[in-house]
A and B are shown apart, each in its own frame.
Chain A
Amino acid sequence: MIVELGHFALTLAFAVALFQAVVPLVGAGRGWADWMRAAAPAAVMQFLLIGFAFAALVHAFVTLDFSVRIVAEHSNSQIPVLYRVSGTWGNHEGSMLLLVLILALFGATVAAFGRDLPLGLKARALSVQSMIAAAFTAFILFTSNPFDRLSPAPLDGNDLNPLLQDIGLAIHPPFLYLGYVGLSMVFSFAVAALIEGKVDAAWARWVRPWTLMAWVMLTIGIALGSYWAYYELGWGGWWFWDPVENASFMPWLVAGALLHSAIVVEKRNALKAWTILLAILAFSLSLVGIFIVRSGVLTSVHAFANDPARGVFILAILGVTIIGSLTLFAWRAPAMRSEGLFQPVSREGGLILNNLLLAVAAAVVFTGTLAPLVREFIDGAKISVGAPFFELAFTPFMVLVIVAMPLGSLLPWKRGDLGRVMARLWWAAAAALALGGVVWGLQSGEALLAPVGLALAAWLILGVFVEIGARIGLPRASPGTALGRLVRLPRADWGKFLAHGGFGLSVMGIAAVTAWEVEDIRLASPGESYMLGGYEIHFDSVSDGQGPNYLYQRGHFTVFRDGEVVAVMEPEKRLYPVQGQPTTEAAIDMGLTRDLYLVLGDKQTTGDAWVVRAYLKPLANWIWLGALVMAIGGLVSLTDRRYRVGAAARRARPAPVAAE
């Protein structure tokens, strides 16, 4: 019964979404205020209805209602409760419902908290947002109904894909969707601004928080996915340039560009048309991402729902969105006049370079991801584009980004002087080069990856400290004054320092783990010991057992360093009998300076030797630590005073303000 009510609520939500897509837009065009005001309650209503539908589906999953098809296909009575809940979106239909839920949530958020928004802009933005929600709700209702019943209902379900039974992957999709959909809000504001023909600082101030939020969520979502691959897929890789990974990476790159260009719109009233274009691109790439994952045109490790009808439907949404918004852009953008003047060497210039490089990097990922498809379409040739291509084609642009980042950060608005900036940064450059030199010397002239990578990371991180120094007037200001200024720095500045520094940490981790990883693959028998980069690994034994919904073989290892026990490690091989799928659970001893990573392989058919894979991964955790710091930077920036200033001003209004 609840399931049917859920289905009914979703159908109603579709009707509400259509209403919300049309009425406020017409009202805004005609200047009818009451039609425009209808947008906010409709948005809240739509959210409540979809929220109910989603809750009904979660209820079906938690209570294990196997008469619901997707519950029977993706759950099982043995599954722990957490994965019953996450099973709701661990399948195609449920994950699309989650997407629509977040679309409606953001619409409702704008409706509820956007009181200071101009009525016309708000009506139009909510209307566009509702068009997207209506399209995806129709997609669910017509091609991917999560509320399908099975008759007769099976006694037990088919189990959730064991790879998805993991806390990291349980929360990975919601974060990505928060990111994708956050960009849909930005897109809605961009299209609304195009219709209105007005982009100003107030618009940018509304759009930047949404961009920041979307970027933070994508950062967390991508980092979670990468971390999951690191510990779950079994050989310690953390990025595979897989189409599905690229699908989330492209919007992240463009969102990164967008949140920088929105600063120029807000502070300098320039780059308007470009910022609008980026907003359109960022959401279009999110749609491309959803298309890649959902249609399965690019087969990949994680695609778990392939169906041509669905692919065509999403392609249609994608086509209408891109063609519609770009047409509108071509028509209205030329009217947008940028005011702010600037010299090429200036903060604006630096931000344009940032935008160019990030956009080009996204273009490289885009061509690489779609090239196999395009080649096959054009001349039928089958080619593969994998990690070695991306490493070669993508990295140079990131190197340029890194080189330019501290310089651009220190340039003043309007007109800058590189000489003066270098006068501040020279010691950071010298220290970074020295570090690179020392590393190169120590490893006796092998690959350049480690020295160059570490020097670049040091340049980024030291550059942040130089910038902090510059902002608080060091070295000229007295320590007291400097400290006072440090405390009073706007949170947006702290956000920038954290995000840029976090990027440096990630670069350092990537360079170190790529260049210095030690690998050992061997046959070992229980009782044996061997050395791995200064650590002594002792293989104690192997035991069998049973988990909640799987069987396992567990290796027991003790790791020593200089005769002392460093870690006891227990890698597992698991078998999930319902789906008959084996998985490996690596044992990882995490540390700030290195991870020890152990994988138990197969037992030899004769004798009692096992294949054991051991890795020493220097600074591996810095990759995700950096991502976390970047995300925190985004959140800190999100709490900046200027985004709260509207509320503060309202509260302050009754009190008389003393004349200055």
Chain B
Amino acid sequence: MSVAATLAARCELCRFRRDDRRNIEQVLPGLASLGSAYGASIGASALCEKHDCFVSPRDVCAAFQPSED
């Protein structure tokens, strides 16, 4: 994949990236008991609905689909 294509297909722009702190606290039981999705430690990580894992904005994968926003 070319550099330009990689940049265009990154997680930051993908429809599967769910960057929602409230949702993260709901789907990770116990997170809000002794932690928080609103603190600094989470950084720019967000959940990928496709792979059900944490991703960072510049990550890439073959399942990329552009967000509608």
A and B: interacting chains: no
Q: Which A residues fall within an 8 A CB radius of B?
A: none
